[in-house]
Amino acid sequence: MPTVFWKRALTVVILVPATVALVLLAPVWLLAGAAGVVILLSLWEFFRMGDLAGFSGYVQWTTLCSLLIVFNQWRQAADADGRLPDRMTVSAWHGIPGGIEAILILFVVGLGLLATFSRIPVSKRLGALVASAGGMVFVALPLSYLVRMLGLPEGRRYLLLLLVMMWVGDTSAYLVGRSIGRMPMAPVLSPKKTWEGAAANLLGSVVVALVAARWLDASMVTLLALAVAANLAGQVGDLLESSYKRSAGVKDSGQLLPGHGGMLDRIDSLTLAAPVAWWYLWILTLSGHLR
């Protein structure tokens, strides 16, 4: 087998058990800290690709606001601790006053000041705003909902379920796409992705949801809907990251993980799957269907 296969396999053998142990056993603060590191690594890879595409963002400011968002998500998750929140007092959960909205307002105001008074050439400032906003909206903010999920009832189990669904789906797509894939899915963005692989990706997540039905206190319909919604969002997130790489003219977002490329290459599907999964589970929690 190709060397890259064994590199991918070794990386998986090391990272998967460590991630599972972290999700199930680590205190919330440690898990939030680990997620914060992953988010920052992914964000910096995004900015690297932006630099290569000619859009240099305000890295320090975006990094600071991203850390504030992770901190806020951690505080809200830690305070909720699996309890069903009162519908009228959700906004009073502990965290940064004003929560995510306040941080995003601070972020936007700060970007405005930087674009107005920074010393970078005027011709570069629009690109800097776009790169910074893109890093926040498409990387840091959505990935922070991996932390926020811990505040839901059985949040750790649902977080692990989401991760396993993405892992199995991606692996299924890789194996099926390489073996029997014939119909290109997005030839401009990712020539190797096929519709056969996409179908296998979805089926893999659905199978994981079916197996998890005995492990979680939720109906089969609830878990299947979660699998379909998260998987489809994850596949769009995967293609979205491919568009970043094509714009930057690179094959991988980085070289951090042998056989997998960068951190963003490994978790690209979660950039859209995480907020979709959290929103779906949050609605079920508020409606009393998830306890």
Identify which of 62, 10, 22 has the alpha carbon closest to the alpha carbon of residue 39: 62
Residue type, 199: A
Taking the C-alpha atoms of residue 226 and residue 231, their distance in angstroms, rounded to an integer, is: 8
Q: Report the distance separating Cα 166 and Cα 234, nearest Å.
A: 7
Report how far residue 250's alpha carbon sits from residue 247's, in angstroms, rounded to the nearest whole number. Answer: 8
191 CB-near residues (< 8 Å, 6+ apart)? 184
Three-state DSSP state, 184 = strand
- Across the strands, what pairs with 261? 257
Cα–Cα distance, 226 to 205 (Å, whole number): 9
Q: What's the Cα-to-Cα distance from 270 to each of 126, 140, 230, rounded to whole Å?
A: 28, 11, 9
Mean pLDDT by 10 residues, the chain (291 residues): 57 81 92 95 96 94 97 86 43 68 96 93 93 97 96 93 95 90 87 92 96 89 96 96 93 77 91 97 88 68
Give 3-state DSSP helix, strand, coil % of the chain, rounded to 5. 75, 5, 20
Identify the DSSP state of 134: H
Provide the token pair at 34: 């680990």
Q: What is the pLDDT of residues 180-236, one digit of tens each?
A: 978 998 888 888 899 999 999 999 999 999 999 888 988 999 999 999 999 999 999
| Entry pTM | 0.89
